[in-house]
Amino acid sequence: MTGWAAGARPVGIPRLLYVPAAIGFALLLLPVIGLVVRADWPRVPAAITSPEALSALELSLQTATTATVLCAIVGVPLALVIARSGDRVAGVLRALTTLPLVMPPLVGGIALLYLLGRNGLVGAVLEPAFGIRIPFTTAAVVIAQSFVALPFLVIAVEGALRTAGTRFETVAATLGADRWTVFRRITLPLILPGLVSGTVLCFARALGEFGATALFAGNAAGITRTMPLAIYTAFNGAGVSQDSAVALSLLLIVVAVAILLLMRSWRSEPER
């Protein structure tokens, strides 16, 4: 049986399936090609190096990085709780955690306003008691990005935790290691590839966040205008042409592709 399995030919894909596969690939690739063709390439360098574009890119990178760190701090423990809970509890927690993935971003922005806005559930207490106003600030951008990006990290880390299992943790515990030692020395190293993948996806999602940010943080230049909002502003002709919107879109695509290539390179490194 082993010899037959070793010499067996791999099962081929039915040829008919190549047609919908090609359509799916075209659906993903052709819009990007449309952007590339539409771009006014002589004007692209000036558009992406303009003060407005650089300010938006800098703000996006800063807020996305902060949001990713925040997601890692709360997301890894949350993934651990879900992975180590019983099936029923884990199912409920997983469904609630992934809710932002299926919720329209604009609805997420409204929900954040009703939570942290001046008349919100928490915001009504924060501003009068502590003088803290969150909506339409840079902090609001970070919170909105964290809200939509956190599920990506949690799902990746939970999957890594379930794949790793608990065998090594149990052995370490029987040898006298306390819970923090097991977490630091056993659990984290085992889930590191999943943690890195989830962190990169979380960062990429935070970088491209638009809907919740627009409603909850607004569109103030230098304060809350991230790259997606700058693209929206440019496309609607607020002082610049649509060619600038196309150039900014290409810049954001290049940044996203670079992030994904870095992740692929990191994950391929141990196999070399």
pLDDT above 50: residue 10: yes
**pLDDT, average across residues 144-154:** 95
Token pair, residue 230, equals 């700058």
pLDDT at 271: 44
Q: Could you tell me the CA-to-CA distances from 94 to 207, 213, 258 in Å, in that order?
A: 24, 24, 30
pLDDT band at 238 (very low <50, low <70, confident <90, very high): low
pLDDT at 237: 64
Q: Could you tell me the CA-to-CA distances from 272 to 191, 200, 248, 262, 266 in Å, in that order?
A: 20, 21, 36, 15, 11
pLDDT at 59: 93
Percent of the chain with pLDDT over 90: 44
**pLDDT, average across residues 41-70:** 88
Task: Please state, in angstroms and rounded to a whole number, the distance separating the CA atoms of residues 260 and 256.
Answer: 6
Q: Does domain 48-271 have CATH number 1.10.3720.10?
A: yes
**pLDDT, average across residues 65-86:** 95
Query: In the chain, where do the E strands start and end?
Result: none
pLDDT tens digits along 93-128: 999 999 999 898 899 999 999 999 888 899 889 888
**pLDDT, average across residues 33-43:** 84
pLDDT at 272: 42
pLDDT above 80: residue 244: no
pLDDT at 36: 85
Task: Please state, in angstroms and rounded to a whole number, the distance separating the CA atoms of residues 118 and 4.
Answer: 70
Maximum average pLDDT range among 6-10, 100-104, 151-155, 246-250:
151-155
Helices 87-97, 51-84: axis angle to 10 degrees equals: 170
pLDDT band at 239 (very low <50, low <70, confident <90, very high): very low
Report yes or no: 67 and 206 within 8 Å, Cβ to Cβ: yes
Q: Closest Cα partner for 209 from 234, 231, 237? A: 231
Task: Please state, in angstroms and rounded to a whole number, the distance separating the CA atoms of residues 37 and 243.
Answer: 11
Task: Please state, in angstroms and rounded to a whole number, the distance separating the CA atoms of residues 152 and 222.
Answer: 27
Report yes or no: 184 and 42 within 8 Å, Cβ to Cβ: no
pLDDT at 245: 79
pLDDT above 70: residue 270: no
Maximum average pLDDT range among 119-128, 141-150, 196-205, 207-216:
141-150
